[in-house]
Amino acid sequence: MSEHANLLRRHRAVMPSWMALNYSDPIEIVGGKGARVTDAEGNGYLDFFTGILTNMLGYDVPEVRDAVERQLATGVVHTSTGYLLRGQVELAEKIARLSGIPDAKVFFANSGTEANETALLLAAYARRSGQVLAMRQSYHGRSFAAAGVTGNRAWRNLSLSPLDVHFLHGADRHLPQFAGMSDGQYVDACTRDLRHVLATATGGDVAALIAEPIQGVGGFTMPPDGLFAAYKDVLDEFGILFVSDEVQTGWGRTGQGFWGIDGHGVTPDMMTFAKGLGNGFTIGGVVARRELMDALPALGISTFGGNPISMAAGNATLDYVLDHDLQANAARQGATIIGGLRAAAERLPIAADVRGKGLMFAVELADPRTGEPSPPLAAALMEAARERGLLIGKGGLYGNVVRMAPPLNLTDAEAAEGLGILIASLEAVSAAAGAGGRRGSSPGEEEAR
């Protein structure tokens, strides 16, 4: 029995069946350097999914490793938030400054789920309301309230929620009622629908809208730039708070701004963050206006949130991003890869859409004959890319989207290599599907030509 097969057998015996594993033959990653990893059987890969957007600088980054080792050398791995934590204060100062939120304060937690729970609590208390607006196709975490504001049935176990949630349009332009609309027309239609939801589905004060500027699990779907500005104009009329979930879009990944919401020209009332900031170390948090953050009357702590090790990693990671202007690198490398994928998609009918910003991009797979979403083709593309030495992810409302988020310090050579593997993999899957080389044509039509 192979190393991977043996570990998979043990995994299935003790881990829950709902913990999804990538690939028909799952792998164990045992080593990494830069943008590359090695599995337990000695195979090497270029990693374009980075632990679900978490290893933002890749693997074994000297600046991050050294910062963590310096903290370990002090012997203080953990105290608690009952003591002053220098690294926590230093990182909060940087995030507050970078947030653009006036008079901002920061609270650290352990994950994006915890961060979103905290933001929802702050909003509900400030507005004395359990009514929340969220986006269709969204994902905000696996806990009770976070799942309640998740607009994707595949990630919700119960219809029950501690919140009264109403879901909005904004990332669903594939629906027939929006067919043929320009960006402006779509934004106008969604904004009118928001007003209608407020007039018909809600009662009294609404606490907040929580939204991802680019939907992660939703398959990197996104509204047109400016939609959240239009939404916020309406929200402000009613005093409704706006929470931008930046767990996947923060720290310059989109290339368009340091935060995903920057593309909409809006400063939210709160932002949540996690994942990439720790470059693999556990971190999450909320940055919000002082009056929102300070308003809670009960005491609160986070036992592990903001711990000295994670703060050392977070400070080093953020400093590296800023010192090396990785937002600009994300914009440049993303333009190369997205442009290359779009050019290839013109001749590959299984590629229904290529979308993204910066180093956050996706390919949507569809049956070349019917145009319907095709999860099997997405799974096949993941396998084809892995066989050629590239790790990618999957998502989308229908499970038919492959999504990618390479390290922000991706080099020109790595971008070209990854693009080449992606195009070769798309070609192989397209050929296996009998799709030919021209969009929308059947094998019979190709032969007739």
Q: Read out DSSP for 234-276?
A: HHHHHT-EEEEE-TTTTTTTTSS-SSGGGGGT---SEEEEEGG
pLDDT, average across residues 185-211: 97
Q: Is the pLDDT of residue 439 over 80?
A: no
Query: What CATH superfamily is the domain 326-403+421-449?
Result: Aspartate Aminotransferase, domain 1 (3.90.1150.10)
Which residues make beta-bridge pairs with 286? 107, 272
- Measured at the CA of 97, the angle between CA 94 and CA 102, to 5 degrees, comes to 145
Residue 324: CB atoms within 10 Å:
14
User: Whats the size of the chain, residue-wise?
Assistant: 449
Q: Residue 114 — φ and ψ, nearest 5°? A: -65, -40
**Candidates 1.20.1510.10, 3.40.640.10, 3.40.30.10, 1.10.10.10; correct CATH number of 65-323?**
3.40.640.10
Residue 444 has what pLDDT? Answer: 34
Burial class (CB in 10 A: 0-12, 13-18, 19+), 360: buried
Place 442 in a pLDDT band, splitting at 50, 70 and 90: very low
Nearest CA to 189 out of 174, 173, 201, 212 is that of 173
**What CA–CA distance (Å, rounded) separates 103 from 193?**
33
Question: Distance between alpha carbon 260 and the CA centroid of its chain, in Å?
Answer: 10
**What CA–CA distance (Å, rounded) separates 398 from 256?**
27
Element (H, E) at 62: helix 62-73
Whether 65-323 shares its CATH topology with 326-403+421-449 is answered no
Place 436 in a pLDDT band, splitting at 50, 70 and 90: low
For residue range 358-413, what is the model confidence (pLDDT) as tens digits?
999 999 999 999 999 999 999 999 999 999 999 999 999 999 999 999 999 999 99
Q: Which residue has the tokens 């599907």?
A: 433
Domain ranges (residues) in the chain? 1-47, 65-323, 326-403+421-449
Q: Is the pLDDT of residue 440 over 80?
A: no
**What CA–CA distance (Å, rounded) separates 283 from 317?**
12
Copy the structure tokens of residue 424: 């070769």
Q: Is the pLDDT of residue 100 over 80?
A: yes
Residue 141 has what pLDDT? Answer: 97
Nearest CA to 150 out of 202, 212, 195, 208 is that of 212
Place 437 in a pLDDT band, splitting at 50, 70 and 90: low
Residue 448 has what pLDDT? Answer: 30
Place 1 in a pLDDT band, splitting at 50, 70 and 90: confident
- Terminal alpha carbon distance of the chain: 49
For residue range 248-298, what is the model confidence (pLDDT) as tens digits?
999 999 999 999 999 999 999 999 999 999 999 999 999 999 999 999 999
Residue 435 has what pLDDT? Answer: 73
Burial class (CB in 10 A: 0-12, 13-18, 19+), 316: buried
Q: What pTM value is reported for the model?
A: 0.95
Neighbouring residues of 222: CB distance < 8 A, sequence distance ≥ 6: 171, 213, 214, 215, 355, 357
For residue range 121-158, what is the model confidence (pLDDT) as tens digits?
999 999 999 999 999 999 999 999 999 999 999 999 98
For residue range 14-46, what is the model confidence (pLDDT) as tens digits?
999 999 999 999 999 999 999 999 999 999 999
DSSP secondary structure letter of residue 208: E
pLDDT, average across residues 166-173: 96
CA dihedral 10, 11, 13, 18 (to 10 degrees): -170
Q: Is the pLDDT of residue 446 over 50?
A: no
pLDDT, average across residues 107-127: 98
For residue range 231-260, what is the model confidence (pLDDT) as tens digits?
999 999 999 999 999 999 999 999 999 999
List Cα–Cα distances, 28 to 5, 44, 46, 279, 417, in angstroms. 10, 11, 15, 19, 23
Copy the structure tokens of residue 162: 């501690």
Which residues make beta-bridge pairs with 165? 132
For residue range 37-77, what is the model confidence (pLDDT) as tens digits?
999 999 999 999 999 999 999 999 999 999 999 999 999 99
CA dihedral 177, 183, 185, 186 (to 10 degrees): 40
Q: Residue 259 — φ and ψ, nearest 5°? A: -120, 150
**What CA–CA distance (Å, rounded) separates 286 from 276?**
14
SS3 assignment, position 95: helix
Q: Which residue has the tokens 């992810």?
A: 393
Which residues make beta-bridge pairs with 45? 37
pLDDT, average across residues 320-324: 98
